[in-house]
Structure 1
């Protein structure tokens, strides 16, 4: 995904890019790094809506630009970030005139809605055991180590820290994981995948 007339944005991990009620400064194109978009409820509980990587669309930003409204969630640079910010007018012009660019954007938005469908299923239809197993597999990518605190996992699963701690203890008792401070090792990805409803292929 390439757009001209953008300005470069480089920032360290932990930088807040936007907050609820902020105006949208432009369309974000991630070149490297990762953005975490989350929502905080009135009771203070936070849940991760999605992450934005290279080639992906920030649905919050897209909606704000198309509907001319303000942000309703928070965007945080989860890693060191190299991105491009395209001014709203330039973005709208490109969307209107460039069919290939428009198709790329709309396909990316469609994929993002699929992520939201999974989030709704996780929170509304899945038991917590399955939600935590999915979060661990997602954060570990293809590896065995998850570098995350219990608070972080609570945000990932839309739950409380105590609930996460109890379930991790149960996973450890069943020899699925081992835990140390800020670090979780996956001992049995296959069984975790079965719990998550995501059976792993042979060799994984």
Structure 2
């Protein structure tokens, strides 16, 4: 379904108020119907070694950014939600390099892409936008440092418990393979850990789904 220009502009400015300083004609060009992109869940938003075509501004849905190892295993680096954006995209634009990770639509998406020229122009002309981009770097780097620490030092059961709790829902439609990919592990190990959680009464397992039964119990494991 196409989002009307005024609705797209209102949604954009609500999520990205830093763009409120744009002249009306530039905002209208950015939010014209053909500029609004809709992608189904599971779509590839960008791929490794692909040139960056612009700066994504997410209006609806979630993108997961993942790194693929030579072995074929994946590690989720971070998620992008509405009002945020992707530091890999911005770093590629600033350094004029290709993507070095993949972006996958975790849910159906609605987004706009700020063209390369407009991104560069805003960095030069708008101090507020420049601050937004560099604050984004600061926040994401802190997240990535935490990820490195968890991968290097935390037990996998801790990381799995945190991953389940981070979804903020008790009924999760997720496969063991998806959890393994997210945590940079293999399905067999994740399945064994989940069965252990189930035996402790922390979760209930079903086909391609699980239910959190004892959230405080999972929180204790995550905090160990």
What is the TM-score normalised by the length of structure 2? 0.84
Partners of 1:24 and 1:108 in 2: CA distance: 18
CA RMSD of aligned residues (A): 1.4
Q: 189, 192, 198: which is aligned to 2:218?
A: 192
Number of aligned positions between the proteins: 196
Partners of 2:222 and 2:49 in 1: CA distance: 35
Q: 82, 97, 116: which is aligned to 2:144?
A: 116
2:204 aligned partner: 178
Deviation at residue 109 of structure 1 after TM alignment: 2.2
Partners of 1:89 and 1:197 in 2: CA distance: 45
Larger deviation, residues 35-44 vs 2-11:
2-11
Partners of 2:143 and 2:214 in 1: CA distance: 25
1:95 aligned partner: 123
Map 1:6-155; keep pairs closer than 5 Å. Answer: 6=30, 7-139=35-167, 141=168, 143-155=169-181
Deviation at residue 154 of structure 1 after TM alignment: 0.1
Conservation of the 8 A alpha-carbon contact between 1:17 and 1:77: yes
Partners of 1:157 and 1:11 in 2: CA distance: 25
More helix by share: 2
Deviation at residue 113 of structure 1 after TM alignment: 1.4
Stretches of structure 1 that go unaligned for 5 or more consecutive residues are 199-204
* Bigger radius of gyration: 2
